Amino acid sequence: MKRRSLFQAAAVPLVAAQPNTARTLVYEGRFVPPNAECKVAFVSDQHYWPGHRENWGGGTQITSSTDRRMPDLAEVLNAERPQLSIHGGDVISAAGSFFPPPDEYARQLAFASNFYKRLNHPYVPMLGNHETLEGLYENESQLAAWRKHFGAPHRYHDVNGWRFVALNCLLPNPNGRHGKGDGYGNAYGLDPAQADWLRQVLKGAAKAVVCAHVPPSGWVGAAEFERIINDAGCVKAVLCGHVHRNITTKLGNIPVLVRVANVTTPFGYTMVHGYADGRVVLVQKSQHFPLEDFLSAGFHAKSPLGTEADRYMTLGGASEQLPLTGLKVIGDGAKAVIQDGHLKLEAPSGRCKVLIDHKPLKRARLSLTIVKAGADRIGGLAGDIEATLTAKYSTDGKVYLTRGKEVLARSWFNIGDHIAYRLTLETDGKRVRASWKNMLDLEAPAVDESQFGFFVDRGTAFVTDLTLESLR
């Protein structure tokens, strides 16, 4: 039996709640400090390539699923309700190393334009080194087609006292004027006109975040850029892409945060929360999009996410630890802490179980995003039903529902560490339905009323979103 057929046979279709179902919010996880002045999404290196059937980078760049990933990312970003989303370059796959013909380049630009039209909030498109047709960037005439779709190659956008500045760091390099550049002869930095523009833009800002596709450490004129942003006195962080990994460095006194590529699992993006005192909280998020045809073994060995501190961080002040309001932690040696925009669960041995401190509900829906970080198992709880993910093969499956030791429904979907999984557990008092987004749905008999929560077995898990709703 083929792998996809096995999944289809194992999964039970989920009966979606009717649009007119009344919902009452019972609990919502508060993992980010309150009173943020702005909430902005940053996503880079989508590398969309519609219709493409070959993955790149040893299979780690998932360009073959572009037509599925694109609408999913738009849906996920819209659900975040940001005041702005910034798309940090290489949204498409052109220029050096890809070499599409002109008609394919035009199709990619139209595809990216369609992506932006799906967003229901303001957005800023940015240029990356794969946004032009030609592999070598020699002059701004090569940006004509991109400009026609997306406008100025550098700009800024203000959100409630915060200025987000998007730069064009493609530096024309005809005849190697600025040296040999990267493998395709491209150099990066700011020309004098854009450097002057940046000085003026920062003069008018109280708090600013500067965004560029390529990290400034490798720029021509990096020292001048460092002087500009440090002398301005308002720049709280620099956000970049290009490297496809989470890396944190500094330029003078200013943090430079290179963020993971969207094209590689776990299909990441970052939520940026800015506060009146200048603090910035960054939270690593994911499209919750593990693919049934993606083999994650290589990803395990060299995760581009880096350490926990590279994924979740507070800049410019103390990292505030928030109370576990409305949650009960159960288990010997179990630990749960809310800090830097996420809830961290730890169970050195045994289980760390977290229950929402609310009376049992007959009709309810639990939704959470949970990351398996080296644990044996993670999952959600609805009464005596457990919805479990594990990377270990067994007769129980790798995704399954259990009551005690009895396996009620199962499948063998490929499960990886560091990927964010989105679970919705819904019960009507008769059935429990578990839906793992973009993977599968399982269903089993339920008890009349349920308490809800989640767990990790022998390891660590991170939760970034959590809600419990009563359904009528």
In degrees, to the nearest 5, what angle opens at C-alpha 283 toward C-alphas 64 and 225? 90
Specify the higher pLDDT residue, 393 or 461: 461
- Does the structure show a pLDDT above 60 at 58? yes
pLDDT-derived band at 302, boundaries 50, 70, 90: low
Q: What is the mean pLDDT of the chain?
A: 91
For the record, the structure tokens of 102 come out as 């002109």
State pLDDT tens for residues 308-318.
999 999 999 88
- Does the structure show a pLDDT above 90 at 9? no
pLDDT attached to residue 409: 95
pLDDT attached to residue 424: 97
Q: Strand locations in 335-404, DSSP E?
A: 335-339, 342-356, 364-373, 377-382, 385-390, 399-403
pLDDT attached to residue 54: 87
pLDDT attached to residue 276: 96
The whole-angstrom separation of Cα 254 and Cα 239 is: 11
The whole-angstrom separation of Cα 99 and Cα 110 is: 17
pLDDT attached to residue 15: 36
Q: Hey, which CATH number is domain 33-315, 3.40.50.720, 3.20.20.70, 3.40.50.1110, 3.60.21.10?
A: 3.60.21.10
- Lowest mean per-residue pLDDT among 188-192, 433-437, 444-448: 444-448
Mean pLDDT of 261-289: 93
Residue type, 406: E
pLDDT attached to residue 449: 87
Q: Cβ(333)–Cβ(347) under 8 Å?
A: yes
pLDDT-derived band at 223, boundaries 50, 70, 90: very high
β-pairing, 84-87 with 123-125? Answer: parallel
Specify the higher pLDDT residue, 472 or 81: 81
- Lowest mean per-residue pLDDT among 115-119, 364-368, 429-433: 429-433
Proportion of the chain in helix, strand, coil states, percent, rounded to 5: 20, 40, 40
In degrees, to the nearest 5, what angle opens at C-alpha 189 toward C-alphas 77 and 45? 25
- Does the structure show a pLDDT above 50 at 10? no
Asked if the bond preceding 101 is cis, omega within 30° of 0, the reply is no
For the record, the structure tokens of 77 come out as 């970003």
pLDDT attached to residue 291: 55
pLDDT attached to residue 167: 98
pLDDT attached to residue 418: 84
With 0-12 / 13-18 / 19 or more C-beta atoms within 10 angstroms meaning exposed / middle / buried, residue 431 is middle
25 beta partners: 469
pLDDT attached to residue 55: 86
Q: Cβ(165)–Cβ(198) under 8 Å?
A: yes
Q: Where are the domains of the chain?
A: 33-315, 322-471
State pLDDT tens for residues 164-219.
999 999 999 999 999 999 989 999 999 999 999 999 999 989 999 999 999 999 89
In sequence order, the 6+-apart residues with CB closer than 8 A to the CB of 257 are 237, 238, 239, 240, 246, 247, 248, 270, 282, 313
Specify the higher pLDDT residue, 32 or 296: 32
Mean pLDDT of 328-342: 96
pLDDT attached to residue 178: 95
State pLDDT tens for residues 59-104.
778 898 899 999 999 999 999 999 999 999 999 999 988 889 999 9
- Does the structure show a pLDDT above 60 at 117? yes
The whole-angstrom separation of Cα 367 and Cα 425 is: 6
* Percent of the chain clearing pLDDT 90 (strictly above): 79
In the CATH scheme, what is the homologous superfamily, with its name and number, of domain 322-471?
Exo-inulinase; domain 1 (2.60.120.560)
Q: Return phi, psi of residue 234, to 5°.
A: -120, -10
- Does the structure show a pLDDT above 90 at 296? no
Residue type, 237: A
